[in-house]
Amino acid sequence: MRFGRRTLVAALTALSAAAAFGPVPALALDLDAAKAKGWIGERRDGYIGLVDAAAPAEAAALVAQVNAERRDAYESVAKQNGVPREQVEALAGQKLIGRAAAGTFVMDAAGRWIRK
């Protein structure tokens, strides 16, 4: 069964608030704060990455936790729509980079971190 891009977008939107982008209560550092400090950025594959190697260990832990949550969410959307997870990840990456706040880091097509 094939579903269109609209179906995937709708599914990603539904999951976005709950699983992929919500606050991470187990850590004192939240995603928005880490992005504002320039430690973390949005990657093209729908995940976040550590921009600054000198960022505190808490930022690296946040990356790991958020990415695990996003992977679970993407896997769920992919299964519901009968598409590869990579397709969901790529679409999510486009949306997340498009919605990233001005001044935060995003990954460009060449794999470099740039300020939006």
Residue 41's DSSP bridge partners are 49, 105
Yes or no: say if 106 and 100 are a contact pair by the CB < 8 Å rule: yes
pLDDT in tens, the chain (116 residues): 455 666 566 556 555 533 444 444 455 689 999 999 999 999 999 999 999 999 999 999 999 999 999 999 999 999 999 999 999 999 999 999 999 999 999 999 999 999 99
Q: What angle do helix axes 57-81 and 5-15 make, rounded to 10 degrees?
A: 140
pLDDT, tens digit, 9 for 90 and up, residues 38-69: 999 999 999 999 999 999 999 999 999 999 99
pTM flag (> 0.85): no
Residue 20: the pLDDT is: 44
Provide the pairing of β-strand 40-42 with 105-107: parallel
The structure tokens listed for 63 are: 């990356």
